[in-house]
Amino acid sequence: MAFKIIWTVKAQNDSVEILQYGVYRNNSTLFAVKLNEIFNERVELLAQYPNLGKRTVIKHIRAHIVRDYFIFYKIIEKSIVIVSIFDVRQSPRKLRRIDQ
């Protein structure tokens, strides 16, 4: 049975920023469309296999690697809560607290 997927506002904003930057950088929406499809496919995979991601040092938070991005999520009952998406090519200092 697949878990329900819940996106936090922060995760939605992270995704939009990443996709907008991809459009800006590549001067095309093709990259953003493909990357969004990949994100959605991986999140659906997490819904099927919630323990797929690696545990992090933050209690209850897991990370799943998708290309150059971490999808941070937590499992709450029968739901996968996507808390953040982070581009690993950025400075780690930019990684804000994801446990909020």
Residue 6 pLDDT > 60: yes
Strands, E assignment, 42-99: 54-55, 61-66, 69-76, 79-87
Q: Please state the φ and ψ torsions of residue 91, each to the nearest 5 degrees.
A: -65, 135
Q: Is 74 inside a domain boundary?
A: yes
Cα 100 to Cα 96: distance, rounded to the nearest angstrom: 10
Cα 35 to Cα 4: distance, rounded to the nearest angstrom: 21
pLDDT digits (tens, 9 = 90+) for 50-93: 999 999 988 899 999 999 999 999 999 999 999 999 988 876 76
Residue span of the structural domain in which 84 resides: 4-88
- Which CATH number fits the domain that encloses residue 47? 3.30.2310.20
Supply the pLDDT for residue 58.
87
Query: CB-based contacts of 4: which residues, under 8 Å, 6+ apart?
Result: 47, 78, 79, 80
Task: Say how many domains are in the chain.
Answer: 1
Q: Is 96 inside a domain boundary?
A: no
Q: Exposed, middle or buried, 9 (CB in 10 Å: 0-12/13-18/19+)?
A: exposed
